[in-house]
Structure 1
């Protein structure tokens, strides 16, 4: 890949794909020519063990080799994490759906509904609602073969990991279907066999010794939150969303303990951008809101910024304080609250201002393409003092 491409702000996935497959084909050729007997046996054993899943590749040995390569690398990476003292190691992320042109959909098409796509209803962070363009599972068809597709999906996604984060975990209970009615975009909630799916999820979690985190942000039925808690499944708490009935940020001691707490995540702007209102300016530039709407949003943001200062309750901090100092104080306070898990957004550590994703957009913004130009080593080196402080505070809090 060209060095200039590696330094561009956004990833060219067409170029990445061409480069990746060129290298993967070369790896397969090298394997066929020079693989040790041990590697050959490991590959054959993998193909036998995974024969049902790999049947979609028919006689395409090269595609099976690539699957084996991923299997070996994930196994090695998890073992390395644990050997270095990590209690959980890798955390996998299970997306809410799959691509229409992907192998998962094409080999299980009978389980999916026709003429519907996964999305979400309007909320304060995506006022027009969202259509994610992903096919939806038919709740009547998914029970076929004793929920075979669902069970296999979770089993495979837990195999190499210490924990599994389930995106949009509310979909176990109900899912927003985006439909076209009389050439107009519409939608409705469709309900799923929640008790059956939750039982399967807990069984697979126990069988694979994998911790579960359910992303329950947005419009969440109360029975989902209570079921996660009673099942030993962590929920997900985002600082921005935790407000009381008068709009003030909740006291940290009021946070539930059975969750993963975050200041920000991939669906909201990095803290620095939020603090300076740069996410609002970006929306205006992308014609996602009018100047009048932006003015109202900025007025509300000023109120929320003062609420952050009220929440921190540190007299030396003001609206004019350095944003990096504010961030440090905020995360050091958050890490001392009750939630058992705490996650830092790498975008915040890397002091990013451009978002990685803007919910509700498709072609307006280059979602999931923004590159962090600072190396991982440099980010951690520059933030080592903060990370040490957070580690010490967490130990003291325990």
Structure 2
């Protein structure tokens, strides 16, 4: 390696960019120089990859970065632990530090001295001392204040986080289970063509009636405020707000209190959409959103004066704060500005005065979007309350996507906290051998630190408002994310590191305050230390039976991690009936997503499947393996294997077990094929169907013997293993 290449890699590592990574096959892969230069530029460090002098200067400057601070912009400490904070000052200055708690209490900090050699930075000599942070501080967001000669000279955020999240502890001696469903695909007779929060409540009652503790649903994040919208719930416009497409309008107090004429108009908007509930056709979000927004505007303009709702709306606005106003302003502007309009950049970076002027110009439209978010928040919270009232210990488990679509609401809301020039994705892995580009902006680690992680904690607080649990997609993103420069392919990215102490700690703080269980999706190439850290901090991981393998074959369930949510499948795989019959291999071959021959893929899959089936028999979860290839099995034989798989994972020590609704009804169709576009495959548009491909409505679930058999089997297996 040349000196220039070595220096470029040293500089990249100094900025938190990993210059190598472990591939899916365990091999060490090296990141391209061009990728490193592009990622460095996105972090504010522009360099010439061929200039060793400039690279060395950049490395030296990076080493002095933190000396330019009087006090660190953010310090994250764990409760009950004493620590110290470094403070920098000039020769001859008398510096002091005190702490202003959330409560307003002021705590003086004690200097403990420091033997660090002074350095020259920005032309002056800077000295360092440290101050002791006591171990008895309360949890929360506090302010460190540095003073020189009694005058405030700098401030920094001090965040005290829990040592461990305790919300899942109740499941350790008394394990639980729940349903997993793609809500939009789960319709009832009165849905408007897509599943809604009334259908989610019905699913909660179904699970509760069979002993279940939660229902895990797809991300419910906000989409565009007008059609057309993106189909993927994992590609929202904002993760901080909710999608009104899931509102059940007929349950709203505003609808129930409306005049008959208004209700009739709304009913007429929904009638043609309700007719689609029994259709086998793919789901279409656009007419549903268009009709619901039209109905909501009717309700908004004709709503009755309901004092309790008016007061609840006021409290909601106060609770969510300025980010609600900014999201409403973005929504109002989005109705008049196309996504590619250059004025977005101007409005994004505008000052408070210009935003206030825009808000005044669009005041009614802003209030409409704020009010819609209030309705979403209130209705989902009602579902959660009723789920707990039905006997569920957790209730609704929401899903937090990795990010929001590029240059949409969150990009506009959070400003420099997101990196504009980069996209998040994944290198080649078991899901997609060509890598993935999710077209989402990553967090800017430097901007997060400089602002006390304000955008991140605001996101968490809004997501956790209405739920009993949260599943965090790709939770490895709290430690590192795969950044892909614009114009580069997903294989040409690099991992950028975040501060896991801060990212995990703030998650624990917000979850503990909201009394929410946290489940992290930690599948794929995840370092064991990270999984161990999550478990030790009270965050559950994820175990999927098909991925629980080592060199000797399937890992026995008794060796699964305790601090996990275990399942037979995931939304990135076909329903189990489809998986057994190789639906995923057929599709990947058809779409040319394989990097080796289809024959090799099938040979490996069938060998792995045979190992799992034999393990089921050995464990007593399955009496015998049906004769012949799975493609020749009868539906009864497939159901028997599905029951056996659930008995098998239920015999593990995992504290939670998730049952896919598609497995309960015998569905076979793939909901999502990672790494594909809608032109290739209709991801996220497949309605819930039975083994014959006929739609299944929520209303019918409680009367289907197959559903009862699986849910009862899981409940008995989990309780029997307690």
Query: 46-55 or 78-87, which moves further after superposition?
Result: 46-55
| In 2: Cα distance, 1:151 partner to 1:319 partner | 54
Check the 8 A contact 1:142/1:149 in 2, yes or no: yes
Match of 1:300 among 604, 607, 618: 604
Correspondent of 2:578 among 263, 273, 281: 273
Other-structure match for 1:84: 390
| Higher mean C-alpha displacement, 222-231 vs 311-320 | 311-320
Once superposed, what is the RMSD of the aligned Cα atoms?
2.0
Q: Does 1:371 align with 2:695?
A: no
Partner of 2:400: 94
1 CA distance for matches of 2:494 and 2:657? Answer: 34
SS in 2 for 1:135: coil
1:178 aligned to 2:484? yes
Question: Counterpart of 1:213?
Answer: 519
Report the 3-state secondary structure (helix = DSSP H, G, I; strand = E; otherwise coil) of the residue aligned with 1:90: strand
Matches within 5 A, 1:174-253: 174-180=480-486, 186-246=492-552, 248-253=553-558
C-alpha separation between the residues in 2 aligned to 1:219 and 1:78? 34
Give 1:183 shift.
8.2
CA–CA distance in 2 between the matches of 1:204 and 1:388?
A: 35
Q: Superposed, which structure 2 residues align to 1:154-169 within 5 Å?
A: 154-169=460-475
Q: Which 10-residue stretch deviates more, 296-305 or 71-80?
A: 296-305
CA distance in 1, matches of 2:667, 2:449: 44
Following superposition, the deviation at residue 185 of structure 1 comes to 6.1
Kindly state the Cα deviation for residue 203 of structure 1 after the two structures are TM-superposed.
1.2
Deviation at 1:138, TM superposition (A): 1.1
* CA displacement 1:174-219 (0-9 Å, x = unmatched): 1001124678961010001111111111111211111111110111
1:337-372, CA deviations, whole angstroms, 9 ceiling, x for partnerless residues? 110000011121121211111111123111111111
Determine if the alignment matches structure 1 residue 351 to structure 2 residue 666: yes
CA deviation map 1:283-321 (0-9, x unaligned): 23333348x722222222221221122111245323445
Q: Are 1:330 and 2:645 matched, yes or no?
A: yes
Partners of 1:27 and 1:263 lie apart in 2 by: 43
Partners of 1:189 and 1:73 in 2: how far apart?
39
- Of 12-21 and 129-138, more deviation after overlay is shown by 12-21
CA distance in 2 between counterparts of 1:281 and 1:268 reads: 13
1:388 is aligned to 712
Return the index of the structure with the highest Cα Rg.
Answer: 2
Hey, what's the Cα distance between the residues in 2 that align with 1:203 and 1:51?
19
Whole-Å separation in 1 of the counterparts to 2:488 and 2:542? 37
| TM-score (norm: length of structure 1) | 0.93
Q: Distance in 2 between matches of 1:153 and 1:50?
A: 10
CA 371–101 in structure 1, closer or farther in 2 if over 3 Å, else same: farther
- In 1, the alpha carbon distance for the partners of 2:325 and 2:578 equals 47
Match of 2:590 in 1: 285
Deviation at 1:5, TM superposition (A): 4.0
The CA distance in 2 between the partners of 1:222 and 1:271, in whole Å, is: 28
Picking from 557, 568, 572, the partner of 1:263 is 568
> Which stretch shifts more, 214-223 or 2-11?
2-11
- Give the TM-score normalised by structure 2: 0.52
Residues 147-170 of structure 1, C-alpha deviations (whole Å, 9 max, x = no match): 111111111111111111111000
Give the Cα–Cα distance (whole angstroms) in 1 for the partners of residues 488 and 556 of structure 2.
47
For the 8 Å contact 1:216–1:235, the answer to whether it is kept is: yes
- Whether the 8 Å CA contact 1:309–1:318 is kept in 2: the answer is no
Give SS of 1:146's match. Answer: coil
Q: CA shift at 1:252, angstroms? A: 0.9
2:482 and 2:489 map into 1 onto residues whose CA distance is 18
SS across alignment from 2:281: coil
In structure 2, the residue corresponding to 1:91 is in which secondary structure? strand
Cα distance in 2 for residues equivalent to 1:94 and 1:223? 23
2:543–2:567 Cα contact (<8 Å) kept: yes
In 1, the alpha carbon distance for the partners of 2:311 and 2:490 equals 56
Alignment-derived partner of residue 235 in structure 2: none
User: 2-side partners of 1:40 and 1:181: how far apart?
Assistant: 49
* Post-superposition offset of 1:238: 0.8
Distance in 2 (CA, whole Å) between partners of 1:250 and 1:395 is 22
Give a deviation string over 1:54-86, Cα, whole Å, max 9, x none.
221243111111011012102211110111110
Equivalent residue for 1:46, pick from 316, 320, 326: 316
What is the rounded CA distance, in whole Å, between the counterparts of 1:51 and 1:126 in structure 2? Answer: 40
1:144 positional shift: 2.5
Q: 1:301 to 1:184 in 2, by over 3 A?
A: closer
Number of residue-to-residue matches in the alignment? 394
Q: Please tell me whether the aligned partners of residues 163 and 211 of structure 1 are also in contact (alpha carbons under 8 angstroms).
A: yes
Distance in 1 (CA, whole Å) between partners of 2:656 and 2:284 is 34
